Amino acid sequence: MKKILMLLFFSFTCWSLVWAQDTLVVVSGRVEGKNPVMLVIQRQLSLSQRLTEAKVQGDYRVSLTVKEPMIVSLSLGRQTVSNTVFVTPGAKIEVDLSREDKFGGTHAGINNLLSRLFTSEYQPKTSGLKEYSRAYAEALLYVYQERVEQIETSGLLPEEQNVVKGVAQFQLLRDMYMMIDLSKAFGKAFTTPEVDADYSDPLLHLDWLPELMLAGDWFPVFQEWLFAQVQTGKIKIGSRVTYLNDMAAVIKNEKLREAYLLGALWREVLRGNVKDLGKRLKKATPIVKSKQGREQLKAYADQLAESIYPAMEGVDLSGYGFPNEKGDTVYLSDFKGKYVFIDLWSTGCNPCVAEIPYVKRLEQRLSSLPLGWVSISLDSNADTWRTFMEQKKMTGIQLLCARSRKHPFMQRMAVNGIPRFIILDPEGKVWDASSRRPSDPVLGELLSQELQ
């Protein structure tokens, strides 16, 4: 028995070592000079994720654990060697700054081509063009096409070319949509862009590759591409049950389609957009074919079962009232006979401020529907609230909840974060406890169908 246990322990240890070696990436090279410099390798997701850092001098050899293929940035001291280094588990990356093609070892061909393609030589010529216009998008697309031409004549294998094309596609999406996405997150720092209706049209013919997911935080900018098509009617939204599948249907690649769908569902779970989410999870099942994807769907279903939001539907909120800018109390019961769209926000909340222009646009678009609009600020200082409303020229029904989250309404609706959007039915009861945001064009499509 003792021999069997020792054999099992030895076997487990060997497999652990093999697994560790398989996931270990080694970066080596030489640093000239008397002083050590800091080698930093990081991955750009929503925030920079530092994978490793080490002081190096002379000949160096630095290792890090990588469990999946990805694009990382590599810097030595103040010098950025490359923002687009392709690594995979077990790769050995050699760096020689004295050569024009500075990368050797594993994926040398990919990394040297990436290094050449993402330089100032390939900057889009957008001077004099209106931002977020079709002409501006065409200038960005032209640079992408130039890169593709270089990739296809590089001599790399097709699968290697796809890695580089994926990075080029991510860069195109980033150039097109990053500022639009950031403006929704940091409304006090960014002005809401005025985007022309045909801005995204030049990109409609592109076949997106799953390799674009290697490059970083791909989901927000990719979703903006889909949102643009919803907004212009190129993607038709069928219903609250099908809308994620409707958007995913335009994605030709199965792997990318599944990844988008899982990412969208995950964000709905996080934000509490759970109205009919169980039906959307079932609708997604035929599209999600991988074992890992099916496990994720099950995890989302488990989280939905624990969510507090579904139980809030039908809760009567009509008895609550809040003061307006004149100090007069306005009750939610005053809107009986209409649906009510409630915007919970504050002047210090960046994404709340970002949603203000989208709320205005949506209100104008849906003006023919039996729908009232109420904004409730959670600011504790009434003067700050009034001044902000004057600066932003905010109209409509503006109310103040100076008690913020301590107010019984906020506690009843478990308001732990803002912005939060709640929709009441004509009886003043909760119809949607945590709605999609007005900046999401899907919301306008759904409400125009459902509230007729």
Domain boundaries, the chain: 19-106, 119-234, 247-307, 312-450
Partnered with residue 64 across adjacent β-strands are 25
Q: What is the pLDDT of residues 379-429, one digit of tens each?
A: 999 999 999 999 988 888 999 999 999 999 999 999 999 999 999 999 999
Which CATH superfamily is 312-450 part of?
Glutaredoxin (3.40.30.10)
Q: Read off the pLDDT of residues 81-90 as tens digits, 9 standing for 90 and up.
A: 999 999 999 9
Q: Which residue has the tokens 């001077």?
A: 127
Q: Select the more confidently predicted residue: 5 or 231.
A: 231
The answer on pLDDT for 355 being more than 90 is yes
User: Which neighbouring-strand residues pair with 73?
Assistant: 42
End-to-end CA separation in angstroms for the chain? 74
Given this model, what pLDDT does residue 191 score?
86
Query: How does pLDDT run across 370-390, given as a tens digit for each residue?
Result: 999 999 999 999 999 999 999
What is the reported pTM? Answer: 0.91
Report the run of H or E that residue 376 belongs to, with start and end.
strand 371-377
The third-level CATH classification (topology) of the domain covering 19-106 is: Immunoglobulin-like (2.60.40)
pLDDT in tens, 100-150: 999 999 999 999 999 999 987 888 888 899 999 999 999 999 999 999 999
Question: What's the Rg (C-alpha) of the chain?
Answer: 26
* CA 331, 435, 238, 134 torsion-angle sign: positive
Which of 111, 121, 102, 128 minimizes the C-alpha distance to 29? 102
